[in-house]
Amino acid sequence: MWFWRNLHRQGPVRVITIATQKGGTGKSTLAVNLAAGLALEGHRTLLIDADPQANSTYVLTGDQLLQPSLYEVMVTNSATLPEVAVSCRLALDLCPSNILLSAADIVLSSVPGRERILSRKLRALTGYDFVIIDTPPSLGILTVNALVASGEVLVPVGMSTFALIGLGLLEDTINQIKENLDIENLHILGAVGTFHDRTNVARNTMAALEERFGSILFKTMIPRTVKLEEANNRLKTIYEYEPNGAGAQAFQALVQEVMTHGQE
Ligand SMILES: Nc1ncnc2c1ncn2[C@@H]1O[C@H](COP(=O)(O)OP(=O)(O)OP(=O)(O)O)[C@@H](O)[C@H]1O
Ligand SMILES: [Mg+2]
């Protein structure tokens, strides 16, 4: 059903933005390993790094100053997504970020229709089953462009005392974007618990998350494990770094959940 429903859509079949306003919740780690996991399942996947910090770009390529990048696509309008996309792994391409993108908010502030630049670029894109977008921990023009261009938002929630604040803010923002820009088909695909461990704080945060967002909470939780930190540090996906460890198993389960959510 899902396949036929999407067959005649313009652009890639599913566009998923990873976003929260809170920093350090595991967005980039999630973006890299979700995109890599989907590619390992045989889905042609493009990871767009829309964060000027270029963390996903760095993990996948070892370089954070690649040019051309999303800057040329969105800000100078001098390149298309296929022109800047680099092949990183089998079935996995990356549209790199660059620190230049940190000027986007100022440079684009007077451009009419600036919230829809990425959406327009994605509509012309073919050949991908999934596009995953990594965003900065703020709601500037880059995150708004990612949300407007997406059908779905995946929200990582770190197990910390202040975790739920970012989630509430993001929900408000999505509703505002839907109202102000007249976009109906954007929805929260789900919240994913990250940095999960056996502490009381994690238990309390999960309980609060289940109470407030139970219906959209993914069954899979990403464990806090130094192997994920090390994989990022060694410029590897978790499947390459420790394929049988808890981190890889959690990400494989999450990939399956993301794939089945889309078929409902
Ligand atoms: N499950 C995990 N267990 C242990 N360390 C992790 C885990 N996930 C991410 N990390 C590490 O925690 C730090 C923050 O993760 P990450 O960069 O993915 O978060 P982020 O939300 O993208 O941050 P930012 O808001 O700055 O973009 C990184 O050093 C990363 O390697
Ligand atoms: Mg990040």
Q: Is residue 154 part of a domain?
A: yes
Would you say the CB of residue 21 lies under 6 angstroms from ligand 1?
no
Q: How far apart are CA 129 and CA 163, in angstroms?
A: 31
Would you say the CB of residue 64 lies under 6 angstroms from ligand 1?
no
User: What is the domain-level CATH number for residue 160?
Assistant: 3.40.50.300
Q: Is residue 90 part of a domain?
A: yes
Q: Is residue 3 part of a domain?
A: no
How many structural domains is the chain composed of?
1
Q: Is residue 81 part of a domain?
A: yes
Residue 67 has a pLDDT of: 96
Q: Is residue 189 part of a domain?
A: yes
Residue 3 has a pLDDT of: 44
Residue 1 has a pLDDT of: 42
Residue 215 has a pLDDT of: 84
Low-confidence ranges of the chain (pLDDT < 50): 1-8
Instruction: Calculate the CA dihedral of residues 239, 54, 45, 256 and round it to 10 degrees.
Output: 50
Residue 262 has a pLDDT of: 62
Residue-number span of the structural domain to which 148 is assigned: 15-261
Mutation to probe ligand 1, out of 29, 170, 220 (largest number of atoms < 8 A from CB) = 29
Atom 31 in ligand 1: which residue has the minimum CA distance? 229
Q: Is residue 82 part of a domain?
A: yes
